[in-house]
Amino acid sequence: MSTNSNRPESERPAALHDLRVTKYGFLLLDDFSLIALAAAVDPLRIANTVVGRRVYDYQLIATGGDFVQSSDGICVRPNATMADSGSFDAVFVVGPNPIPRRGIGAVLDWLRLLARHGTALGGLDTGSFFLARAGLLNGYRCTIHWEDQDVLMEQFPMLTVSNHLYEVDRDRYTCSGGVAPLDLMVHLLGMPPGSRSLAARVLELLIAERRSHEQRQRTSLRQYMGAEHAKLDEALQVMESNVEETLTVAEIASYLRVSQRQLERWFHERLGKTPAQAYLEIRLLRARQLLYRTSQPLEEICARTGFTSMTHFATRYKAQFQIPPSVDRRRYQNAL
């Protein structure tokens, strides 16, 4: 016997064919993330295949010109420009890397115009930064790629910024980079006028697993260490969470309820270094991230990464990266 009669009307297969068309726009900025765009668009393409018609219409939008170059050098031809793009249910800014500081006034004005017309707005990867600059995330929960969280919070301290994979807050849809746009789009596919069954089918065809919006982004620091050991990973997580006010190795071992000697053995066997050395690397990687991504003075970065002396900080930084911190910042900025 068929079980369709026991399912809500909106979840029955026949109901998928009655879905109204939803129109999405993706604004591509120079040096946009190609993987973020693909992760967002492909679930829509597959949803259309499942339904059997184009219920999710999407356009690629440029600020102007025939092509937009992604951060990996691949050029994409948009369907329209901001001036002739028409109307949308939602528009997503596919953010670039690095974030430009100038020449974005026209983009901000266009986003404000869309907001006045009631268009839902989203940001993929660093796209949230542009919504924030336009004043369109005030009073909303939002997120951004972990590398740029400090930039967002430094420039817009009143924003509510989470470390989640994505955030859906009323008519604002933001997510981190990489493949997290897939998670955001699957979530939106499961919302009206879509359905949970459609979202599940899209995941199945993508050979992907559902990830909750509450799932946090993994920071690069722990991945950099490459731990594949539950307690060791937990120790590294404790270190990441206590960069400004550092802990002793004994305190970390006590928190994990293991002996200091056992903790040191794990670090030696798995990482080939002591806990103190790993902790120092985590703090220095965090310092470099702040150095590159924010305008904070060196003295503040020094304090925020647990160093009490600028001399000690500069010495350790140079030993780790073979370049003084002030020179490293100038080199990075000149390369943008």
Task: Print the domain residue range for 268.
Answer: 221-335
Low-confidence ranges of the chain (pLDDT < 70): 1-18, 218-228, 335-336
Residues 241, 200 share a domain = no
Alpha-carbon dihedral sign for residues 103, 105, 106, 112: positive
Number of domains forming the structure of the chain: 2
Domain boundary among 172, 206, 240: 206
Q: According to the model, what pLDDT value does residue 335 have?
A: 65
pTM: 0.71
**324 and 242, same structural domain?**
yes
Position 277 in a domain: yes
Amino acid of residue 143: T
158 and 10 fall within a common domain: yes
pLDDT of residue 227: 47
216 found inside a domain? no
**Same domain for 294 and 240:** yes
In the block, tokens 């329209």 appear at 80
Q: Give the CATH number for residue 246.
A: 1.10.10.60
Question: pLDDT tens for residues 208-254?
Answer: 888 877 777 755 455 545 445 778 888 988 998 899 999 999 999 99
Encoding tokens for residue 79? 């369907």
182 lies in some domain: yes
pLDDT of residue 314: 95
Residues 186 and 37 in one domain: yes
- Domain-located, residue 48: yes
The last residue of one of the domains, among 163, 178, 206, is: 206
